[in-house]
Structure 1
């Protein structure tokens, strides 16, 4: 199958959508499919052979963060050329309701189109304002996927229709087989995320850290991510600063080793998360997880069975939970075991098969056939959020 995938966000900026697109493309290529990914990237930037650079991205505030997107006449021309040259059997767009390559491709494309919606933001004013502009393009989409129930709810509330929920995928074996590093082991708490992005929650963790260190003086916090380190620790006592190690940007292999090494992984995010890929990566690596009680995180952690939860932005609750867990080896071992079992549902072998089944549905016309069967109780077309007038 010839598959075209559009990534809306800059390829060289780490993020959950970019990682999902990369890993999906590589999984499909391993299965023998021809895959081409169109993504914002400077033409001088080294990219994998399956990626086509669509030019430099510009920063745009979006969903509590800053997204780097490509949009405009030049980008539209590159999209049309890529579509013309690709001769794709199916086109897979990610985040098609952003002003990005994805919506440009949706406007320009014909034939089977699958769209994955990642955003969880039910009160988005931008989406409300964009609905009249986006609706004609969305009607061209053959099948819709949401990465979580909360992303599906955002889609339904703003644009109608429905979507099948297929979570983000993770190469579980990659994280499970990573080698721990001695310098990152022994009384360590891990955090991975952009330091200066408030919704990633590092300020909440740093607010909790003095109490954690007072109870357990040997604890160290390892922070992996880009940002202003001096600004992050401003106001913390010197003895607390001494227990924090900033690792900067890390490679995928280093991230896997970090997650394999820490005694506890903390995700103190404050909102705007539709899934929580870092939680899945941490569980895959065998790290016990303590996360803020966001709807998406609760779902990823199986309601709290695969990891512990604390109230959002409650530094005292975070500190209390971390102190209790770090002092309870049996509970940490139980979380490792439950997390390792639970994470299998997110492995690419499962997630990739589900996505391929959507591709096959929209390219063969099976959705239209089973939709007509009364016994189907709504039909495959309803299950996949298929447009009524969309046929391959």
Structure 2
């Protein structure tokens, strides 16, 4: 099968949608399919062979973050040429109403089209602005996928129609086989916890964790907080309570291999995110690596953690409750072990072998539906609509 996948966000900056597109493409390539990915990227960005650059992206504030998007007539020309050259059996658009290359591909494409919606939000000015532009073309989408119930609710609220829920995927075994690193392992006196995310982005929740840490450090003064992710250390530590910055070890942006080892090594992975999350792929990665997870009780996170059965939940944006839950886990290794094992089992449901099979089933259904329409005998009325009568 020839598969075209469009990512609206730039491959220059890592993100959940980019990782999803990358892993899906590589899984299908490994399964013998021909896959081409179109995404924004600077000219000097090293890209996999299967990725075609749509040109440099522009930073735009979107969904509580900064997204790098690409739009305009020059980009539209690149999209059309990519579509013509690809002759895809199915076109898979991600975030088809985000004003970037996915919208341009939707406007230009014809044929079997599948769309995946990742975003979860109550109200989106960007989506409301883009919607009138793409509304007529949304009828082209024959298969709609949402990565979570929260993302599906965004579709039904802002766009209309419905979508099948197929979650994000993880290469579970890659995380399960990750070696533990001695420098990141905790001890009873010096346990380790980890935070991964863009440090300066408020919705990732580092300020919430920082506000909770004084209570934890009073009880466990040797606690080590391993912080991984992009951002300026001086900027994020400037407002931290006294003593908290000293407990933090800033690792910067880490590779996929180091991320897996970090998650496999720490006593607890903490996800203090405050909102704007439609799924929570990092939770699945942590559970795959065998980490005990402590996360805010966002609805998306609660669903991933099966309502708290495969990870501990604390009340969102309540540092005191986070501190209490973290102290309880750090003092109870047996509880951590139980949650970690439950997490390992839960993560298997999100392995790419499971997720990709569901996405392929959508592709096949859409292709078969398109073929049935094209092969349907034309009625007198349909011939009239195409100008076929009287010839």
Same structural fold, with TM-score higher than 0.5 when normalized by the shorter chain: yes
Matched, 1:240 2:253: no
Corresponding residue for residue 16 of structure 1: 16
Counterpart contact for 1:7–1:17, Cα < 8 Å: yes
CA RMSD of aligned residues (A): 1.3
Corresponding residue for residue 176 of structure 1: 176
Q: 5 Å matches for 1:252-331?
A: 252-331=256-335
Task: Give, in angstroms, the shift of residue 320 of structure 1.
Answer: 0.5
Matched position secondary structure for 1:317: helix
Counterpart CA distance in 2 for 1:368 and 1:206 is 58
Q: 5 Å matches for 1:192-231?
A: 192-231=196-235
Counterpart CA distance in 2 for 1:237 and 1:91 is 50
Counterpart CA distance in 2 for 1:106 and 1:368 is 22
Counterpart contact for 1:212–1:322, Cα < 8 Å: yes
Task: Give, in angstroms, the shift of residue 238 of structure 1.
Answer: 5.3
Matched position secondary structure for 1:26: helix
128-137 or 217-226, larger mean C-alpha shift: 128-137
Counterpart contact for 1:361–1:367, Cα < 8 Å: no
Task: Give, in angstroms, the shift of residue 130 of structure 1.
Answer: 3.2
Matched position secondary structure for 1:365: helix
Counterpart contact for 1:43–1:54, Cα < 8 Å: no
Counterpart contact for 1:194–1:226, Cα < 8 Å: yes
**Cα distance per residue 1:263-282 (max 9 Å; x no partner):** 00000001000000100000
- TM (norm. structure 1) is 0.92
Corresponding residue for residue 349 of structure 1: 353
Note the residue ranges of structure 2 that are not aligned, 5 or more in a row: 374-391
Counterpart CA distance in 1 for 2:138 and 2:214 is 49
Task: Give, in angstroms, the shift of residue 61 of structure 1.
Answer: 0.7
Counterpart CA distance in 1 for 2:243 and 2:131 is 52
Matched position secondary structure for 1:358: helix
Corresponding residue for residue 361 of structure 1: 365
Counterpart CA distance in 2 for 1:15 and 1:22 is 11
Counterpart CA distance in 1 for 2:246 and 2:126 is 42
Q: Which runs of 4+ in 1 moved over 6 A?
A: 366-369
Matched position secondary structure for 1:364: helix
Length, aligned pairs only: 369
| Larger Rg computed on CA atoms | 2
Counterpart contact for 1:103–1:137, Cα < 8 Å: no
Matched, 1:333 2:337: yes
Matched position secondary structure for 1:139: helix
Counterpart contact for 1:199–1:271, Cα < 8 Å: yes
Counterpart CA distance in 2 for 1:171 and 1:333 is 22
Matched position secondary structure for 2:364: helix
Matched position secondary structure for 1:99: coil
Distance 1:324 1:232, change over 3 A: same
Task: Give, in angstroms, the shift of residue 40 of structure 1.
Answer: 0.4
Matched position secondary structure for 1:222: strand
Counterpart contact for 2:65–2:201, Cα < 8 Å: yes
Counterpart CA distance in 1 for 2:165 and 2:239 is 43
Counterpart CA distance in 1 for 2:147 and 2:126 is 20
Distance 1:71 1:129, change over 3 A: closer
Counterpart contact for 2:295–2:312, Cα < 8 Å: yes
Matched, 1:26 2:29: no
Counterpart contact for 1:290–1:308, Cα < 8 Å: yes
